[in-house]
Each structure stands twice: as structure tokens, then as C-alpha cells.
A and B are shown apart, each in its own frame.
Chain A
């Protein structure tokens, strides 16, 4: 049994038919972690005992002939900003180093109701603020394809764990590309659904109007299956939406004949690595060969997405993170004279540099005298950007874009210049501003052997269109797993 490359769908089938035993599967993943974690460091917290107990329970129910959920016995890793009842949830911050939620996120509950088994919590940029997983208070996660490089971020632990074969699939969260970008850098599939599709209840908020939870998987079919499990309205999240259809797996056909694909010219004009651009062109040729109609177009306003995003995300972060005050949970400073000093010292000592940077910026753009010029202006820019995508999707079924300007950067390179790091989010951020669904999947490798991803965006509620295009592309290139610790080699 090699569980490191199997898809969640295949694993669920094998457990159901009795070919694999759930406790043995869980044990295999923990053995895989023992072999990889000292190199990759994808996890913050492991939950072996409870995972094994749940696996025994699943197995006992199979023996009794009970009908089980679609993910029965399938091990999942959860990003550490998703609340898990009784299991430490840190957001990779010193602030929440000893926080044990008293409830689970709706997304986690739905996975567990479908039979999935939580095996641990994955590393991330602190409070999801970063693009490399280097701002974690618990050490960096390394890219399984090349341990001298970052996995991307902020869901770097979730994506590295899937690439390294340490779980069958994982959950991430995406505020400005935090699922899609690390999925691209790690050579796995990452899906950000339409805003509101998956309940955010229990997701420790960063930018509430932008945040969306999504699956990280080794196949497009897995992404569709897990989305079916996760999607649906929730009375605990007022922004969750009731959709007309939830049969995402019905889109898993290779039939892209007549599918209209728009390719924004601006994304390929400057700043994009030539090897990345080449691979995307090849992928578009494959889709065209299968009958898709590929057309270049001018999207417009692309230069405004990143500045508008950082105003909004920072503003919302400064408000959301005001709850961390050293009173109800989390870190509290030891030396203080009064309440005001306790708040300030707690927050100054508990938050890392990047989080403080964004809270400061957010507090500024919301402050009296600057609110109109920065925050309202960004919301107006958002309206115009959304309008451009609405226009684009009146012509096209999907829009194809790069995921990031380059393949995974070296560790330590990105944090030297925060603005430069923010600019690298250019291709992913618009989907959050406009609420669009987006999927990333691996399409090739550069000369260094690092994965190159492609991003497919759809109009709101059109997940089926992007899943169909992604499925067709995936069929032309089977999944590859990294040979961990080597340099960009494939583990056959």
C-alpha cells in the first residue's frame, strides 16, 4: 500500500470495498510524516491518537455493513486557521500558541460528517498574511520539490503536505491567492470556490469579504468531490449562499469542444517568467486541440487590483484582529501596569512583524481623514474590477491566467521587500476582489524541475466550467509526486 500518491477518491473506494483498512491507512500517513516532516515541516500539530481511534470506528462500522459517507476513513490535514474542537489551532502565531477551540469550523464538521479523519493542522503564514509560509511563528515549511525553496503561501503547509503525500487531501483558505499560489508552487490542485460557497464559520478571519475556504488535492476529481461535501448554506455564516446546483462532479468530462477561453493580454505582457509563459501557451494549445476556442483579450485595470486588495485586506485585518487582546484567549504579556498597557504589550509581543505591518496599514486607511481617500477608493476600484470580469464572462466561459510570476522562490528571498512580495499576487488577487471561483493545477516544470501551475477562473457560481477545463488538461498530464529531498526529481 502506497498512500502518498493515491487520490482521496481512490482511497475512499478502496476503504469502502475493504481492500484497504482505515487504521492501516492512517498509520501509513503518520509513517510518511515521520519520513518527511524533519525536511518539509508542513504540520504544526498532529492528532495521531484520535485519528487512529476514529479510523478504528470507521472500520468497525464497515464491518457491520453500515452505509458510510463519501470520505469514510480518508485522512485530511487542516490549515491551522480553521477551528478544530479540542485540537490546538494556532494560526501559526505566538498569539494563539495554546488555543484550543471549543467548536469546529462548519467546513471541518462537514468533512467529518462525510467520514474524513483529521490527522493534523498545517503550517501557514501567521494569520494567513504572507505568500511564502515564512511568517509562521513555528518555522518555515519547505517545498517538497526543492527543500531550499518556499512552498508558497499562505496555505503552504496544506499544499506541501499534499505534495509530500503526508495526507490524502487538505483544506486551505484563500484571501488573495493563498490556496491557488502554494498549490501552483507545490504541483498540486487547489480550488477557491465562489465567495460564500463554503461557510466561513470557524475560519479565524483575516479579510472577511475576501476569505474563502477550499480543498487542496492530488486530482481535479478530488477537488470536485470535496467541494460537494463542503458547499452549502450555513445559518452560522450570513454571507454563505444557497446555490442552484451542487453536482460539481458532473463537470468531470473531457468535453471542452466549443468552450470559450479568454486569455488576458496584460498577464502575459511583462513580469512573467518565460518558462511559465511557455507552459501556459502549451496548455492552451492542448485545450484548443480538444476543441476549445482560445481568444486573447484586454481585461483592463489590472494595475489596480493589488493596491485595492492591500487596502481592503489590511483594513479588514486591523478590525478582525482587534479581538486578540490577551483577555479571552491566547497570549498575554507578563509585565503591565494597567489595562491599556496590557493590551498594547500583549499585541506587540504576540503578533509577528508582517501581521503588525498590516494592522498598522489597515488602521491608517480606516482612520478619520484618510478613510475616503484610501478605503472607499479601494471599494470603488473593486466595483470597477468586478465590472471588467462581468464583461469578460459575457464573452468567455473561463479565463486562463498564470498563478504566479515565477516558480517557487528561494527561502529568505521574498520577505526582504514586502511590496515586491505583494506584487507577486497580481494574478490571483482579482478573483478574491470579484468573488470568482479559481482553480490551479500543475501543467509542467521549469528547467530547475520546479512545478509550473496554471490558473483557470470562472464567473461567480460557474465552478463546473473551470472544473471541466481543468479535468481536460489534467488528462493530458498525469499527476507527479516529488522525490523529497532531491532536486526537482519525480518519485516514480
Chain B
């Protein structure tokens, strides 16, 4: 399938990626090549086939809702790029 500039722009938005002009061209060419190959699947008759989402039939796994483990907040915050008052700091989200 043909990958247009609009498709790349749309997919970049979904993927939350910002591509440079050269990167966009390369991405379009590569995606086109890959999708053409993936389209091999079209020759496979899947008319009456159910998609296989889980390999083994299994029920939901439940456990009692009891708090356990340690409070890892302090340790977790150490990994954050920016922290303020014990919270993750992000740029202003509402104008």
C-alpha cells in the first residue's frame, strides 16, 4: 500500500514521535516496503477463522485486595526527570 505524507503525519501523532524531513521520507519508504511484504497475509484464507488473542484459555486471576509491599514512592521519584513536592513535574497542561 502507498504511504502518503498525510499517513506519516497521522501515524507520527499516534506514535507521539516527531520526525525530521529526511526521517519522514525514510519512514514512508520503509513502511511501504514492510506493508507490501505483510500483505502476503492477504493470500491466506481466514474466512471462518477466529482471531487468536490468548494462547491458553484461562479465567481471570483474582487475589484478595490486601495492601502489600513497601511504599516505594520515594525510590520511584528518584527515577523521575523532574520532581516537585513529592510529585512528578510536567509542563503546564491547561492554557
Contact = CB atoms under 8 A, between A and B. Distances in A.
A binds B: yes
A102 B72 contact: yes
Contacts of B78: 100
A66 interface: no
Nearest to A238: B61
A359 B27 contact: no
B31 A235 contact: no
Interface string B41-58: 110101001111111101
Given A327-B81, A360-B11, A419-B37, A435 B55 contact: yes
A364 B11 contact: yes
A327 B91 CA distance: 10
Interface stretch (A24-32, A380-388, A481-489): A380-388
A329 B31 contact: no
B18 interface: yes
B4 interface: no
A445 interface: no
A317 to B, nearest CB: 10
A416 to B, nearest CB: 12
Given A307-B38, A311-B38, A380 B46 contact: yes
B44 A304 contact: yes
A8 to B, nearest CB: 30
B15 A359 contact: yes
Contacts of B46: 377, 380-381, 384
Contacts of A361: 31, 34-35
A269 interface: no
Contacts of A326: 81
Contacts of A270: none
A17 to B, nearest CB: 38
Contacts of B7: 364
A203 B42 CA distance: 34
Most buried by B among A239, A325, A360, A383: A360
B14 A367 contact: yes
Interface string A300-342: 0101100110110000001000100111111110001111011
A297 interface: no
Contact of B91 (A342, A359, A382): A342
Most buried by A among B51, B52, B53: B52
Interface stretch (A35-43, A344-352, A451-459): A344-352
Contact of A241 (B14, B56, B79): B56
Interface of B: 7, 10-12, 14-19, 27, 30-31, 33-35, 37-42, 44, 46, 49-56, 58, 60-61, 63, 72, 75-76, 78-82, 88, 90-93
- 7 tightest Cβ-Cβ pairs between the two chains A and B: A379-B51, A332-B81, A329-B79, A383-B52, A380-B46, A435-B55, A344-B18
Given A307-B41, A338-B91, A344-B17, 18 more contacts: A100-B79, A102-B76, A239-B58, A307-B39, A307-B40, A318-B14, A330-B79, A332-B82, A357-B27, A360-B12, A363-B14, A364-B35, A374-B38, A376-B51, A381-B41, A382-B52, A419-B37, A434-B55
28 contacts: A99-B79, A100-B79, A102-B72, A103-B72, A196-B56, A209-B55, A235-B61, A238-B60, A241-B56, A311-B41, A318-B14, A327-B80, A328-B80, A329-B81, A330-B79, A331-B81, A336-B91, A339-B90, A339-B93, A347-B15, A362-B15, A367-B14, A374-B41, A380-B44, A384-B49, A386-B52, A418-B34, A435-B56
